[in-house]
Structure 1
Amino acid sequence: MEVVLAKNAGFCMGVRRAVDTTLGMVQKGETTIATFGPLIHNPQVLKLLEEQGVRILTEIPSQASGAIIIRAHGIPPEQKKKLEATGARVEDATCPRVLKVQAIIARYKKEGFATVIIGDRDHAEVEGLMGYAGNNGQVVNSEADVAALQLDGPYIIVSQTTQDERLFERLKEAILQKYPQGEVFNTICDSTHKRQEEVRQLCQEVEALVVVGGKTSANTKRLGEIAESLGCPVFMVESEQDLDSQMLEHYGRVGVTAGASTPNWVISRIVEVLENITAKTP
């Protein structure tokens, strides 16, 4: 089988920074390390960190020692204050692109602006952004959400950094049509944009697409949705064990892309297995 690997598959800058920060602390010999929530949305990386002694906190303790790392998606400011009050050293591994969105929301909130976030309401990043927006924040992810949107006064529009570019544009225009004069900030990160556009291009060149990433990864799921919308057969996998060889052998040329939290070693294994599948000629 011929395999075409996307150039932008795998770790984005923010994820690499968060993982490097955590592993760097392990290598320095720090013995009590925890992350508040999963550091990133990838099971293989989380297992690796667990094997290195890094724990995942699901709640904020009243007291703690050692270091607590804020995950790449960021958290609400009130939660950060509570973490700092535990007595542990707080290491902020929030993606710089997410920090930028947080700063925009905080700045405009002080000036009396409401915030509309185009994103997935239950995603960790969006929950963190809503913490900065406060009571004047609203999340939209569909035309129905825009129809239900209620605004009174000045507002800004921002995006979850891993949002689908074309969905953002569509919903942004619908919001502006309903409530003109909104300030728009396209905060989709460059890595996300390149990844999505590459999927659109790949779908024109291959017979099927394998998307590698954690089941809880929103940006991985979005890559699959884009391919499906273009009529390209899609296989969503977390590891080589998830590959369906019997289905894949019907394709002679297959593309491979991966979410922003997928490590290179996982992608390499997928590519190796695919290259060893003998395509059945019709």
Structure 2
Amino acid sequence: MTAWLTEAVPRGRIAAFRTLVYLFVAADLVVFTPWVRTRVDVPGDLYQPLLVGRLLPLPTPTPALVGVVFWALLVTALLAATGRAHRLLGWTVFALYFEWMIVAMSYGKVDHDRFAFLVALAVLPTAGRARHGDPTRTEAGGWALRVTQISVICTYFLAAWAKFRFGGLDWANGSVLARAIIRRGTDLADLIAQVPHLLIVAQFGILAFELLSPLVFVVPSRWRTMTVGFFYSFHLVTIATITISFAPHLVAMASFLALEKVRPVVFVRRLLGRPPPAVPTSSVPASPAAAPVSAAAAPDPSPTAGA
């Protein structure tokens, strides 16, 4: 079990995932959750902090507090995306984003698409130093990715458990998707809704998908990427039909992917005609062909050798 939890991965994968996660934090502030700053405009009596907010305890949001969290988080996330000071900046980003989420989710609605992303922010500071393109493998980085992957799958499996807990099979037999399409459906969703019984079949399919999601850990490695691709396609359909993005969850799910193979900086340098940055010498194992040949093993260059 320990070997599975700490399965070593290339440091380049950690560097790429770290950059992706921290850049999304900055994008989240200005694109996906800028509405959090408007929460301070409502009366403080409406602020009902989550349990963790009551246990710490955290103060009631004010314009000054939310403004400081916003700008501090934006700056530190962009700095953390460079990979420098990964522990200091990583823990700072996690603490600030955690507070940002408590403010966002303490007014009556809690989004479960943030769980795996918060776990990723919590474990990335422990992953160690990493450079883009570095092929050396790290168990600490492997543990950080594995914990994030488990959180991604828990999001699916526990969502199915919640459906059974509160609705049972009536959830699958009901009109959940129909109500979602009425509230926020697209033209594509309207077309799908006209097919008899298709929405009921889709609801059973969603339950089956969520319950079977842990199988991603036991399928052969050659099928794992395709399985994760199916996960992404499920969310693509969700966005195209009922406009629910699950963006932070999709970022966390990139922990399953070989992100070290995606190197935009190298691609840009090649377009500009510049050589890619050199990989550290200590990271590249010596090639057997480069080993010196001893005099005893060297072939005899004389014409009569072997005669």
Q: TM-score range by the shorter chain?
A: under 0.3
TM-score normalized with structure 2 length: 0.24
When Rg is computed on C-alpha atoms for both structures, the one with the higher figure is 2
| Higher percent of residues as helix | 2
| Higher percent of residues as strand | 1
